[in-house]
Structure 1
Amino acid sequence: MTDTTLTGQHLIAGEWVNGGTPFQSDPASGEAMTVLCGGQAEVDAAVEAAEDAYLTYGWTSRETRAAFLEAIAEEIDARGDQLTAIGHAETGLPEARLQGERGRTCGQLRLFADHIRKGECLDRRHDVALPDRAPLPRPDLRMIQRPIGPVGVFGASNFPLAFSTAGGDTASALAAGCPVVFKGHPGHPGTGELVARAIDAAIKKTGMPAGTFGFVQSNTNEAGTALVKHPLIRAVGFTGSYGGGKALFDIAMSRPEPIPFFGELGAINPVFVMDNALAARGNDIATGWAGSLTMGVGQFCTNPGVVVLTAGDAAEQFATIAAAALGDVAPQVMLTDGTAAAYGRGVQALADAGVATALNTPAEAPARCAAPAVFRVSGADWLAHPELAHEVFGPAGILIFAADAEERQKIATQLDGQLTVTLQLDDADTDAARPLMPVFERKAGRILVNGFPTGVEVADAMVHGGPFPASTNFGATSVGTMAIRRFVRPVCFQGIPEALLPADLQG
């Protein structure tokens, strides 16, 4: 029998505790929940408990941690029906979407369990001693990746399960051997608490140290700032807006001892439709793009907000088909009132820029809802107005009509860092697409051909990250098994007796 009672409390050192001023949640439906807003005191207590836990948890075996990750997945699954119900009420996301996201969340945990069992993430290296080497002997050298210590993680608004309490940042940090202090997202506090209770149950079931995972609820900036500033926190994982992420990144960099801040800040994820593909199947690409743009009310960090076309009759037909497809999409509930308000401001900013022409009239949207909006702009105006390239979080898109291949290349070159770039092409477009590839490789973490970027596979080869401002660390990914590298560092052991080596270096 699982504990399904929600209290709005914090999880600190294995205990559910009070602390801070209460606030009311803002669900899409149903009754509001009273939640305690934690601050400096709660963060300090949770981080200190995490540091105590690290002295044990950081030296557990890979098998022990793998079993712990699998226990978390089992506990989340055991709360599946309640997670779906409360997640739907809090965020307005469809039940089927939440069920799928729960499967992804548990799948990530089990994937990391399998990954650390294999031991490849340790990157073990051994240079044997050469005592007789001239002119100088060489000592015995052994290297291994070791956990860095307590990690702070922030929940994402748009994925209340897969990128939140037990999401990829938490799963990869725990897999590495790092305790986690999690700052809950105020948009789904009940969902966050229920998952935290699942993690707490797994800690108790598997005998992990009490402070291995801490959970602090908050609807202000105080807890987040305190978490990033805390001297015992060794790295931070963040998924969210550019403004919030950049502010926290600056705090992490300004600490007396700066720490890595792995922030995923979003992107416009451009789609380049090459000429032969546009002529042969432009209608299908247009409807496919409209479906990707409006999936989940456009609330995906990989939402393809921009399409680049060569001006001409085929591009005009594409615009007509895309606008019609978007016009058939009814307004849908967004994650929070604030998200909906920000979307409205973003669409208005595009209209006010004076160079982008609206291709549709968005339907009148009820409170907390958004309707699709699509604009068109010439390639020259896009290049002259970089403000058009700011992400609008929601189902808003821009069609860029490039004059020719040269202007298309300039558009690609001017792009900021992206999570994804997509090419729609046919075989006859290969030569024209070739000059774009070196540009795309420098601009994005993932390059797609003949697909759409919404939907991020959880797999060994996946990269979910990219050059700034898509993320704050271009050498990292927040999805896939390589995500564990963010929370380990190489340590070399020189001439150390085997009995003093980490267990994974012995034998």
Structure 2
Amino acid sequence: MTRWGKNYYMNTQNIIGYALIPPTGKSFRAMSPASDTELAGDFHVATTTDADAAMQLADKAFAVYRHTDAKTKAAFLRSIAEGITALGDELLNRCAAESGLPIPRLTGERGRTTGQLNMYANLLEEGSWVDAVIDTAIPDRTPLPRVDIRKMLVPVGPAVVFGASNFPMAFSVAGGDTVSALAAGCPVVVKAHPAHPGASALVAEVIMQAAQKHGLPDGVFSHLFDDGYAVGEALVKHPKTKIVTFTGSLKGGMALVKMARERDEPIPVFAEMGSTNPVILLPQALENRAEELAKTYSESVTMSAGQFCTNPGLLLAVKSEGLDRFKTALGAGIANVASATMLTAGICSNYQKLSKERLGNEAVNIVGKADKLNTENQNQALAVVSEISAADFLADDKFKEEVFGPYSMLIVADDMAQLEEVVGYLHGQLTATIMAEREELALYKPIIDKLSNLAGRVILNGPPTGVEVGNAMQHGGPFPATSDSRFTSVGTGAIKRFVRPVAWQNWDNDLLPDALKDENPLGIWRLFNNEWSRK
């Protein structure tokens, strides 16, 4: 048999550690959203027994993997990146077939995926992420002596990762959740997203082979298919599971949070669940560059059919001549955008339903609507920007809800006081943006303060779409954007979700973890007796 070119049999099976699990008899096929036709490959559905086996094996692997040195883990991550790159067009073409996303977008996403793997490899080798703190003993301190106490971050245990629909590589099998968990020292069990099983399987094989290459324990990585909810529920409720990550809907995320809280041992679920990403268009900015802003946001709203978690779903402004020019230019820009294939038939159907409901409300008007429908492909989404008064927006909670797709709503306030009232009415967000001239910022500080209270990332004069994968990125925000606003799912800070602090008191130097020893054999930055040092 051949897998679109190689070992087809392997890539349709569930992987538990280094073993391929025999087919259960129940299988499914991926669907092409562009053609509504089945794609090659019968993907076998895992059972709850398989889920139990994966978690038991992950728990055994944790006893070894938690102590694996940084150099080995870094080499492991780099091998995964190399393996993904080596898949070449095979992976890109399968992702395109399963997601409807264009090859240029997927090429960039592949670069992001391999880039974050290499970024974490560098982080591991640098080492300061463990937050080592050393307070040596002061036996003659009065009135009480100080004992020797040393603290650092350690991995929490096996992690369950749910693949996301809108990023078949960067938030999937080898995405940010998986790589940050593996970097922390946590074995990972991935529940593949059913919309792109072929792409998931290709990457899962790469990870399994990289783990074997570097002699990592059996069970450090497993990969399961499911065409429903049974396997995911079994994984979240399993007593060996210590942490769960999820990117998707509010309903799905909260269902997992509820399961995790009701366990005998409650565990954290880091869920990213949606955001409308409000954009404040201040008066002087609109007066000076209405047409420029309209171009920026017609592109941002419609990018990848609006299927980004940072899509600007709400635009807020005060009535003005500049706003009128902005609306005219924005409407023209939206009208020129061709329709695009959405990720799945279900996502497209939900977009059509929600956008139709919004436009059917008598308080809502259309600013711009695309009419260039691609009749050659299925599941096409036409972009829409609607308009509503601030008073009507404040009167109905439904307008606060996200419409996932190329849809945005312009909220028009009578004055700045009413605009500030709208900002105060919004719930938690991943991002909040201010488009302003510099001299305006001091005038509207209360609005800026409110935005920083409700969002994880506050942007000045730029669209929210596009998330830099780096050390300073915060991709997370107050509920309901995420289930825990203290953490990020993008950038090196994402590793902090998978660790906990442990203090060692009165231990002999040779018995301590390397990061806490007096001589600092790793050469990492440490807080040594209240001073940062690499000695």
Q: TM-score range by the shorter chain?
A: over 0.9
- 1:362 is displaced (CA, Å) by 4.8
Which one of the candidate residues 266, 273, 290 is aligned to 1:265? 273
The aligned residue for residue 11 of structure 2 is 7
> CA offsets per residue over residues 184-211 of structure 1, 9 Å max, x none?
0000000001010110111111111121
Which one of the candidate residues 45, 54, 61 is aligned to 1:46? 54
Alignment partner of 1:359: what SS? strand
- On the 8 A contact 2:172/2:200 being kept in 1, the answer is yes
Quick one: distance in 2 between partners of 1:214 and 1:478?
A: 21
Matches within 5 A, 1:320-469: 320-363=328-371, 367-469=378-480
Residue type matched to 1:331 in 2? Answer: S
Alignment partner of 2:104: what SS? helix
Q: In terms of mean alpha carbon deviation, does 195-204 or 26-35 score higher?
A: 26-35
Quick one: distance in 2 between partners of 1:309 and 1:134?
A: 62
Which one of the candidate residues 292, 297, 306 is aligned to 1:298? 306
The aligned residue for residue 17 of structure 1 is 21
Q: In terms of mean alpha carbon deviation, does 310-319 or 117-126 score higher?
A: 310-319
- On the 8 A contact 2:330/2:367 being kept in 1, the answer is no
- TM-score, with structure 2 as normaliser: 0.92
Matches within 5 A, 1:54-133: 54-133=62-141
- 1:13 is displaced (CA, Å) by 1.9
Quick one: distance in 1 between partners of 2:370 and 2:75?
A: 50
Which one of the candidate residues 201, 212, 216 is aligned to 1:204? 212
Residue type matched to 1:145 in 2? Answer: L
The aligned residue for residue 164 of structure 1 is 172
- On the 8 A contact 1:266/1:301 being kept in 2, the answer is yes
> CA offsets per residue over residues 9-51 of structure 1, 9 Å max, x none?
1110211223442112212357343111213111111111111
Structure 1 stretches lacking a partner, 5+ long: none
Quick one: distance in 2 between partners of 1:473 and 1:141?
A: 29
- On the 8 A contact 1:131/1:139 being kept in 2, the answer is yes
- On the 8 A contact 1:105/1:162 being kept in 2, the answer is yes
Matches within 5 A, 1:134-149: 134-149=142-157
Quick one: distance in 2 between partners of 1:57 and 1:11?
A: 18
Structure 2 stretches lacking a partner, 5+ long: 520-535
- On the 8 A contact 1:4/1:194 being kept in 2, the answer is no
1:181 equivalent in alignment to 2:207: no
Quick one: distance in 1 between partners of 2:217 and 2:360?
A: 55
Alignment partner of 1:391: what SS? coil
- 1:365 is displaced (CA, Å) by 6.6
Quick one: distance in 2 between partners of 1:361 and 1:289?
A: 14
- 1:7 is displaced (CA, Å) by 3.4
Quick one: distance in 1 between partners of 2:213 and 2:96?
A: 29
Quick one: distance in 1 between partners of 2:21 and 2:359?
A: 48
Quick one: distance in 1 between partners of 2:198 and 2:131?
A: 39
Residue type matched to 1:27 in 2? Answer: S
Quick one: distance in 1 between partners of 2:362 and 2:260?
A: 38
Alignment partner of 1:401: what SS? strand
Quick one: distance in 1 between partners of 2:385 and 2:466?
A: 22
Quick one: distance in 2 between partners of 1:478 and 1:96?
A: 24
Q: Structure 1 pair 396/26, CA: closer, same or farther in 2 (3 Å)? A: same
Alignment partner of 1:416: what SS? coil
- On the 8 A contact 1:365/1:371 being kept in 2, the answer is no
Residue type matched to 1:64 in 2? Answer: T
Q: In terms of mean alpha carbon deviation, does 475-484 or 14-23 score higher?
A: 14-23
Quick one: distance in 1 between partners of 2:177 and 2:241?
A: 14
Quick one: distance in 1 between partners of 2:335 and 2:151?
A: 58
Which one of the candidate residues 206, 217, 235 is aligned to 1:227? 235
- 1:361 is displaced (CA, Å) by 4.7
Quick one: distance in 1 between partners of 2:118 and 2:447?
A: 38
- On the 8 A contact 1:80/1:102 being kept in 2, the answer is no
Alignment partner of 1:238: what SS? strand
- On the 8 A contact 1:292/1:303 being kept in 2, the answer is yes
Quick one: distance in 2 between partners of 1:358 and 1:281?
A: 22
The aligned residue for residue 481 of structure 2 is 470
Alignment partner of 2:166: what SS? coil
> CA offsets per residue over residues 444-482 of structure 1, 9 Å max, x none?
000111110111000100000000000000100000111
Alignment partner of 2:410: what SS? strand
- 1:4 is displaced (CA, Å) by 5.2
- On the 8 A contact 1:26/1:32 being kept in 2, the answer is no
**How many corresponding residue pairs?**
506
- 1:360 is displaced (CA, Å) by 3.8
- On the 8 A contact 1:460/1:481 being kept in 2, the answer is yes
- 1:130 is displaced (CA, Å) by 2.0
Quick one: distance in 2 between partners of 1:256 and 1:80?
A: 45
Residue type matched to 1:228 in 2? Answer: V
* CA RMSD between the two structures: 1.5
